[in-house]
């Protein structure tokens, strides 16, 4: 396999352009998957307290380091501050819990997971806290909390100063919120993580981030497949089934998934495809010994439909009984 490229950041080091996403990886297969991924060459793990498997990722990291697959400083580990911990007194506690579970003493990147603050749920009460405040009640509800982003951001900056995280960033933010953060940040966000795939190209957001020297990580880089089992997308909405993608895949002798991921990398974003299939780990990382022509790139970008699968303005109402749009 060719050496993968990295994306410059304001951080201590550049971001490996392909990472493994851990959302929805079952606990029982997580540690082994992390280990196998590292053996194959993954050096970037995308984690979050909300995924409920940081302890198992931690077991995997422990094995990776003890077997000498790579050193801690070769790994890029991203964590995410959950919505229930936006108040300044909870940010450090949340980060420390992730570090303990992941068995590491610093995160390479800590992101505000969503610009959504929810009422605090004590760690001993329930962890991860999830979206519902009271999942056991007869009518569980999501309870928003009015916490300004600047309060959370200042607490994130203190994590950098304390050496718990190397760099900080945000996720699911648009240009207006980014501008707001940049207006007071003494430590600027180095990475924005957002949904992006050929049906949600986000060219204005990417251009703004380039202008502000904020690296972009594309989550759900394959689009619909992650959301089909959740009932949030249908198989017919899958970009890897698109004839244009299939045609390009045939031309370059790669799989449709590799074409879509290569498109993401070639336009300058990091991609963090999730797979729990070992064979696909290799497939998803093998993106650096072929290139798409500028015509291929344009053909794929023209598939844009501004279609977002992960939209709190939709799923919070459907699943958690609270209308909470953030992009409009």
Ligand X SMILES: NC(=O)c1ccc[n+]([C@@H]2O[C@H](COP(=O)([O-])OP(=O)(O)OC[C@H]3O[C@@H](n4cnc5c(N)ncnc54)[C@H](OP(=O)(O)O)[C@@H]3O)[C@@H](O)[C@H]2O)c1
What residues act catalytically? Answer: 51
Q: What kind and span of H or E run contains 194?
A: strand 191-195
Question: Taking CB positions, which residue lies at the least distance from ligand X?
Answer: 21
Neighbouring CB atoms inside 10 A of 278's CB total 14
In angstroms, the CA 235 to CA 14 distance is 35
Binding site for ligand X (CB under 6 A): 21-23, 46, 113, 171-172, 193, 219-222, 225-226, 257, 272-277, 280, 283-284, 310
Backbone angles phi, psi at 8, to 5 degrees: -60, 140
Nearer to ligand X, 272 or 303 (CB): 272
Long-range Cβ contacts of 251-258 (<8 Å, 24+ apart):
251/296, 252/290, 252/292, 252/296, 253/290, 254/290, 255/283, 257/222, 257/283, 257/284, 258/283, 258/284, 258/286, 258/287, 258/290
Question: Shortest gap between Cβ of 130 and ligand X (angstroms)?
Answer: 14
Question: Shortest gap between Cβ of 284 and ligand X (angstroms)?
Answer: 5
Nearer to ligand X, 81 or 125 (CB): 81
Question: Shortest gap between Cβ of 62 and ligand X (angstroms)?
Answer: 20
Nearer to ligand X, 97 or 308 (CB): 308
Residue 172 CB-density burial (10 A; 0-12 exposed, 13-18 middle, 19+ buried): buried
76, β-bridge pairs: 44
Question: Shortest gap between Cβ of 238 and ligand X (angstroms)?
Answer: 9
Nearer to ligand X, 82 or 106 (CB): 82
């Amino acid at each position: 396999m060719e050496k993968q490229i990295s994306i410059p950041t304001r951080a201590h080091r550049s971001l490996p352009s392909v990472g493994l996403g851990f959302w929805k990886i079952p606990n029982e297969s997580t540690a082994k998957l992390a280990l196998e991924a590292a053996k194959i060459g993954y050096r970037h793990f995308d984690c979050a307290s909300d995924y409920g498997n940081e302890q198992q990722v931690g077991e995997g990291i422990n094995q990776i380091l003890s077997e000498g697959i790579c050193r801690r400083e070769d790994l890029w580990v991203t964590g995410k501050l959950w919505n229930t911990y936006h108040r300044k007194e909870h940010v450090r506690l949340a980060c420390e819990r992730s570090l303990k579970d992941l068995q590491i003493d610093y995160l390479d990147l800590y992101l505000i997971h969503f610009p959504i603050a929810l009422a605090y749920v004590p760690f001993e009460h329930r962890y991860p806290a999830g979206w519902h405040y009271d999942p056991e009640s007869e009518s569980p509800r999501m309870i928003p909390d009015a916490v300004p982003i600047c309060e959370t951001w200042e607490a994130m900056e203190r994590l950098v100063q304390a050496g718990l995280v190397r760099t900080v960033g945000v996720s699911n933010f648009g240009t207006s919120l980014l501008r707001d953060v940049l207006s007071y940040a003494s430590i600027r966000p180095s990475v924005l993580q957002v949904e992006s795939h050929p049906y949600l190209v986000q060219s204005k957001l990417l251009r703004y981030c380039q202008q502000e020297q904020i690296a972009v990580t594309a989550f759900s880089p394959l689009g619909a497949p992650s959301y089909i089992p959740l009932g949030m997308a249908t198989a017919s909405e899958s970009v890897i089934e698109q004839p244009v993608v299939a045609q390009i895949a045939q031309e370059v002798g790669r799989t449709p998934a590799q074409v879509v991921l290569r498109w993401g990398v070639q336009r300058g974003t990091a991609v963090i495809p999730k797979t729990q299939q070992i064979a696909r780990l290799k497939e998803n990382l093998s993106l650096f010994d072929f290139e798409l022509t500028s015509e291929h790139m344009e053909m794929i970008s023209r598939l844009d439909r501004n279609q977002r699968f992960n939209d709190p303005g939709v799923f919070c109402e459907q699943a958690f009984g609270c209308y909470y749009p953030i992009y409009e």
